[in-house]
């Protein structure tokens, strides 16, 4: 009982922060879901972006909670600078993975192609004409005309010139009685 008396103000502030967190999280999830469905993005990608938002909000909440329970900025600065130094070294080692994740997030919000579209990637070394089969966190699955599956990194998809050949090529092929895959 003395714990609750001692930290009464902090616990009330924590309750307020958690309520705000859930409201903000709900608002973000609603907006992302609405945007994703309006743009014709599949549910797996919508869930992935919502998960990224939830993790970010949780990290912000932990930071706010540390201030509520009396952590000083100087103390947190030392901890965060040490953590970010270690993370920075690790990130340099895995920058390609992070680049693909970041590209996946960018592609969620601003990508003119969707699953089912036939595209051509203008790469001088490896030009590709294929149908987008799936868009994932790290790569895009492309189905070639011969049936082979190509996984193409998200970061390269944003770096190369891409031409839309047919929107919803899979649906159009089935409508015309042609096997697109």
181 residues of the chain, pLDDT tens digit each = 687 777 788 889 999 999 999 999 999 999 999 998 888 888 888 898 899 899 999 989 988 888 888 878 777 778 778 887 887 777 676 777 778 888 888 888 887 888 888 999 998 888 889 999 988 888 899 999 899 999 999 888 888 888 888 776 555 555 555 444 4
pLDDT in the model for residue 44 = 84
- Quick one: 89 and 7 in the same domain? yes
- Quick one: 10 and 67 in the same domain? yes
- Quick one: 76 and 118 in the same domain? no
pLDDT in the model for residue 167 = 72
- Establish if 103 belongs to a structural domain: no
- Quick one: 37 and 82 in the same domain? yes
- Quick one: 12 and 80 in the same domain? yes
Number of domains in the chain: 2
- Quick one: 125 and 84 in the same domain? no
Q: Of 67, 26, 33, nearest to 49 (Cα)? A: 33
* Tokens 């919508």, residue located: 46
**Relative orientation angle of helices 95-109 and 73-93, to the nearest 10 degrees:** 100
- Establish if 100 belongs to a structural domain: no
Q: Of 108, 94, 93, 180, nearest to 140 (Cα)? A: 108
- Quick one: 122 and 171 in the same domain? yes
CATH number (domain holding residue 132): 2.30.30.520
- Quick one: 86 and 7 in the same domain? yes
> Could you tell me where the DSSP H helices lie in the chain?
2-6, 8-38, 43-68, 73-93, 95-109, 154-159, 169-176
pLDDT in the model for residue 26 = 95
Are the beta carbons of 140 and 152 closer than 8 angstroms? yes
pLDDT in the model for residue 18 = 93
**Residue span of the structural domain in which 147 resides:** 112-176
Residue where a domain terminates, one of 93, 125, 148: 93
In terms of C-beta density within 10 A (0-12 exposed, 13-18 middle, 19 or more buried), how is residue 140 classed? buried
- Establish if 106 belongs to a structural domain: no
- Quick one: 56 and 130 in the same domain? no
- Establish if 101 belongs to a structural domain: no
pTM of the model: 0.56
pLDDT in the model for residue 101 = 83
């Amino acid at each position: 009982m003395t714990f609750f008396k001692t930290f009464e103000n902090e616990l009330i502030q924590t309750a307020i922060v958690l309520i705000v967190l859930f409201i903000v999280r709900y608002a973000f999830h609603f907006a992302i879901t609405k945007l994703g469905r309006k743009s014709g993005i599949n549910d797996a990608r919508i869930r992935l972006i919502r998960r990224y938002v939830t993790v970010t909000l949780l990290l912000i909440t932990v930071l706010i909670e540390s201030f509520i329970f009396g952590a000083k900025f100087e103390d947190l600065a030392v901890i965060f600078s040490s953590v970010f130094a270690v993370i920075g070294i690790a990130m340099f080692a895995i920058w390609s993975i992070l680049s693909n994740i970041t590209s996946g997030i960018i592609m969620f919000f601003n990508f003119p192609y969707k699953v089912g579209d036939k595209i051509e990637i203008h790469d001088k070394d490896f030009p590709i004409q294929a149908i987008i089969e799936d868009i994932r966190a790290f790569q895009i699955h492309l189905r070639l005309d011969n049936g082979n599956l190509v996984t193409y990194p998200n970061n390269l998809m944003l770096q190369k010139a891409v031409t839309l050949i047919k929107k919803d090529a899979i649906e159009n092929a089935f409508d015309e009685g042609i096997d697109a895959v």
